[in-house]
């Protein structure tokens, strides 16, 4: 279990590249494994040639699915582990989001998700811009029930 008091993750300001976003890489886990381990990795909403211009040998953009989570007043008293530079940090989230991530993770390979409650810096208004969010959703592989 992560040390919840000393290693809380904070989301950095928005990536500066055009079309840049953060993607949540959810590590594989068995259904009985309660801890959800993740990483925040670079992503993009760009497609085709625009996307290729921003890829490097170090950054290969992954297709992702989008999960929009309730931004209501429910307490964020559960947590997920965010790995960065071999250190595990705690990100407090709503219990239902932890349950959803457990249900969506795969047993043997990583799952790539854009989750607004985690991938957006909640303290930075420009990132919460509705039109920017719609571009992210339009660029994902699937969004919500019944998506392909």
Q: Is position 51 within any domain? A: yes
**pLDDT for residue 90:** 94
**pLDDT for residue 113:** 94
Distance of CA 74 to the CA centre of its chain: 19
**Tokens linked to 21:** 């976003």
**pLDDT for residue 109:** 95
**pLDDT for residue 3:** 47
Number of domains observed in the structure of the chain: 1
**pLDDT for residue 148:** 45
Domain that holds residue 98: 20-139
Q: What whole-number distance in Å separates Cα of residue 91 and Cα of residue 33?
A: 18
Q: What is the mean pLDDT of each run of 10 residues along the chain (148 residues)?
A: 49 59 93 93 73 60 81 83 91 92 95 90 70 61 51
Q: Is position 76 within any domain? A: yes
**pLDDT for residue 6:** 46
Secondary structure E strands in 14-138: 20-26, 37-44, 65-67, 78-84, 87-93, 111-115
Q: Is position 15 within any domain? A: no
**Number of neighbours of residue 23 by Cβ within 10 angstroms:** 26
Phi and psi at residue 78, in whole multiples of 5°?
-110, 175
User: Which residue shows structure tokens 């990483």?
Assistant: 39
Q: Is position 2 within any domain? A: no
Q: What is 49-79 written as a DSSP string?
A: HHHHHH--SS--PPP-EEE----SS----EE
pLDDT tens digits for range 33-53: 999 999 998 887 776 666 566
Cβ atoms of residues 43 and 22 within 8 Å: yes
Q: Is position 148 within any domain? A: no
Q: Is position 107 within any domain? A: yes
């Amino acid at each position: 279990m992560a040390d919840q008091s000393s290693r809380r993750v904070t989301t950095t300001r928005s990536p500066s590249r055009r079309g840049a976003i953060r993607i949540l890489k959810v590590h594989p886990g068995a259904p009985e494994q309660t801890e959800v381990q993740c990483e925040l990795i670079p992503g993009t909403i760009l497609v085709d040639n625009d996307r290729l211009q921003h890829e490097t040998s170090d950054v290969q953009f992954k297709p992702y699915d989008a999960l929009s989570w309730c931004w209501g007043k429910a307490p964020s008293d559960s947590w997920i582990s965010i790995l960065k530079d071999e250190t595990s940090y705690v990100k407090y989230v709503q219990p239902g989001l932890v349950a959803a991530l457990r249900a969506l993770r795969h047993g043997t390979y990583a799952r790539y998700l854009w989750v607004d409650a985690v991938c957006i810096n909640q303290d930075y208004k420009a990132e919460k811009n509705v039109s920017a969010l719609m571009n992210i959703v339009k660029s994902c592989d699937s969004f919500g029930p019944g998506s392909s």
